Amino acid sequence: MSDDRRVVETDSAIEAAIRENHPALITYLTAGDPDLASTTRYVEALDRGGADVIELGLPFSEPIAEGPTIQSAISRALEAGTTPDSFFDLVESIETDAPLVVMTYTNLLMQYGPAESGTDVAPFVERAADAGLDGVIIPDLPASEAGGVREACEAAGLDLIAIVAPTTEGERLETLLSTTSGFAYVQARLGTTGARTDVSTATHESLKRLDGADVPVAVGFGVSEPEHAREIVAAGADGVVVGSALVELAATSDDPERALEATARELKRGARAGTDANAIPEPERS
């Protein structure tokens, strides 16, 4: 949460996009839900609507960080035949201004590539970079075991984005902030992903702990409404991450492309409203 949010001196396309478009809207969709061709259209609709960074979920059979909405989307994508290779082909076909990020799980990185590579994550990371991705988020990767993935990402020019839980503090928080790149992904509340009706008090406490961070700070897990975006940005975040609400919209709307574009525009408008901090008092909680 630097004061020089629009002064961009970074090799990271993700960090540059967040600072140049502050406050940033970061969106998530599950790749392959309901199929890869639809994902291409949906992602490009979010880009038109003002998404500044776009996460694409690479389906994995045990998505421990995901709530029911994204778990269902992952099941649909796997049933439709989405694989890591078809995912990378999809990324190569997408044309957006927003940088693209893959969100997936450690096991897929370790299994990708020729048999002789064993559990080396480099083949996955190198293929991700070749496909045009700019960053990686791995919810089940402990910070203490991230060294190999980080080295591979640095060699390939990808950001490895760390997730900061509400319980992360002290030396562990300092370690995460010193090693994350692109942005710090603040988990708004404990538990799994999923749209919520309010902003957790834990979000405000987390943002206070991260005040002064050298990388941009964006909050996800439960953000679904423009008012949420406004409150979170007013509390000091550089951006918001919206996933489950968009996944649900894509699955239920009669016109998903139009709905996604319009909703992204409203969420971005909400985030911008939060830059007038004096107009957004922190809500009282019981």
pLDDT tens figures, 168-190:
888 889 888 988 999 999 998 76
Asked if 125 and 158 count as a contact pair (C-beta separation under 8 A), the reply is yes
Residue with tokens 């790749």: 31
| Chain segment 264-276, per-residue pLDDT in tens | 999 999 999 999 7
**Catalytic center residues:** 55, 66
For residue 100, the cross-strand partners are 54
Select from 80, 70, 101 the least CA-distant residue to 38: 80
Distance in angstroms (rounded) separating the CA atoms of residues 284 and 286: 7
**pLDDT tens profile 189-248:** 766 676 666 677 788 988 999 998 999 999 998 899 999 999 999 999 999 999 999 999
Q: pLDDT digits over 42-71, tens only? A: 999 999 999 999 999 999 988 887 889 999
SS3 state at 265: helix
Taking the C-alpha atoms of residue 165 and residue 260, their distance in angstroms, rounded to an integer, is 28
d(CA 194, CA 70): 8
